């Protein structure tokens, strides 16, 4: 745990340094993790980037660390934030400086899992299986189960504080946006050998009402040189019970104030770290290797994904 705590403190120092450097960055705590068995709880930080009016009117969301093990997503996200306000960086976003767009960032959505180096939160719940909604045709076990919090993919008997914090953030800032694409990108790593960018649904084969808007984003990213990603609804890869983004998305559709072109549009970037495993089956049992990139591959990969984050945020400026 000590090692995890040191890493978490390092991320906290990085984000507070951002706020110190620029007036366009504000930080506040929006929630707290479940308690660890040692009685510790960790803060969920929100970073607001941009002019306050732009953050209010045209927010885009970036989330990482829902699975505590997947640290590469947190690293990419924090490094991207360090560069987006730097005019010398390829990730510089004049649109943020000009007030055309605001960014809301949750760099570590599951700080307890991050510190403990577990996929789940400190109560053993996989937050990405925790909404309480059932899927049609999700696989046994991997798709989410109620067997035991000692096993991975446990759904939890109650919605967890980390999931409630995200829901409130989405409700308060992203639902019912008629005038822009309120994109929220959630960064994960570990599934598959290829990188994927998914849109809803994860719980059924139904087509989501924003499919043509997502297709448009796919074309724009392709045009910007982001090739090599598998795009599509998550259900085309696998289905799961209790997906948080499905739940938030359905809730936003039920409130029926968005449109098919704009509105709340959650997406997931799944970084396919399995490619680095090579042919050695032993590495499959190495947690660190399974969910993170090889050390020597990291710097260039981080560059590539930072640029991707930038261009995804810009697709919200229609
Ligand atoms: Zn994940």
* 42's tokens: 């960790």
Count the alpha carbons within 13 Å of 8 in the hemisphere toward its beta carbon.
24
For residue 200, the SS3 value is coil
**Centre of ligand 1 from the C-alpha of residue 253, in Å:** 24
269 CA → ligand 1 middle, Å? 9
Q: What is the CATH number of the domain that holds 275?
A: 3.40.630.10
Condensed to tens digits (0 to 9), the pLDDT of residues 42-63 reads 999 999 999 999 999 999 999 9
Report the half-sphere exposure of 172 (CA within 13 A, side-chain side).
Answer: 10
Return residues with CB closer than 5 A to ligand 1 (ion): 67, 70, 188
Distance 188 CA to ligand 1 centre (A): 4
> Does residue 261 register a pLDDT over 80?
yes
pLDDT at 67: 97
Greatest Cα pair distance, the chain, in angstroms, is: 52
Domain of residue 52 covers: 2-314
pLDDT for position 289? 57
Count how many domains the chain has. 1
Note the pTM of the prediction, 2 decimals: 0.93
Centroid of ligand 1 to alpha carbon of 191 (angstroms):
8
Could you tell me the distance, in angstroms and rounded to a whole number, from the CA of residue 176 to the centre of ligand 1? 27
Q: What is the mean pLDDT of residues 8-22?
A: 96
> What is the distance in A from the centroid of ligand 1 to the CA of 120?
10
Closest CA to 210 of 173, 261, 268: 261
Q: Which of 271, 266, 138 is nearest to 214 (CA)?
A: 266
Q: Is the pLDDT of residue 103 over 80?
A: yes
* d(CA 245, ligand 1 centre) in Å: 12
Chain position carrying tokens 């990730």: 91
CA of 302 to the centre of ligand 1 (A): 17
Instruction: Tell me the CA–centroid distance for residue 293 and ligand 1, in Å.
Output: 14
């Amino acid at each position: 745990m000590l090692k995890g705590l040191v890493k978490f403190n390092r991320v906290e120092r990085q984000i507070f340094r951002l706020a110190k450097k620029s007036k366009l960055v504000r930080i506040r705590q929006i929630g707290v993790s479940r308690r660890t068995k040692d009685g510790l709880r960790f803060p969920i930080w929100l970073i607001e980037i941009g002019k306050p009016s732009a953050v209010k009117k045209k927010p885009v969301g970036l989330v990482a660390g829902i699975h505590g093990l997947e640290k590469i997503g947190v690293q990419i996200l924090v490094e991207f934030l360090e560069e987006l306000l730097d005019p010398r960086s390829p990730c510089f976003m004049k649109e943020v400086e000009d007030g055309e767009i605001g960014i809301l960032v949750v760099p570590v959505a599951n700080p307890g899992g991050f510190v403990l180096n577990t996929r789940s939160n400190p109560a053993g719940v996989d937050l990405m299986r925790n909404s309480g909604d059932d899927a049609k045709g999700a696989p046994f076990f991997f798709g989410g189960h109620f067997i035991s919090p000692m096993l991975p993919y446990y759904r939890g008997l109650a919605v967890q504080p980390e999931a409630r914090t995200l829901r409130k953030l989405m409700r308060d800032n992203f639902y019912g946006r008629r005038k822009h694409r309120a994109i929220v990108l959630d960064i994960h790593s570990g599934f598959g050998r290829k990188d994927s960018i998914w849109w809803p649904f994860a719980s059924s084969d139904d087509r989501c009402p924003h499919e043509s808007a997502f297709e448009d984003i796919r074309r724009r990213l392709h045009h910007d040189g982001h090739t090599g990603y598998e795009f599509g609804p998550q259900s085309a890869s696998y289905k799961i019970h209790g997906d948080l983004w499905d739940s938030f998305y359905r809730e936003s559709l039920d409130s029926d104030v968005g449109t098919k072109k704009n509105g709340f549009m959650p997406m997931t970037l799944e970084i396919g770290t399995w490619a680095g495993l090579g042919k050695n089956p032993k590495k499959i049992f190495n947690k660190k290797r399974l969910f993170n990139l090889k050390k020597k591959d990291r710097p260039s990969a981080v560059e590539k994904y930072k640029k991707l984050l930038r261009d995804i945020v810009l697709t919200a400026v229609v």
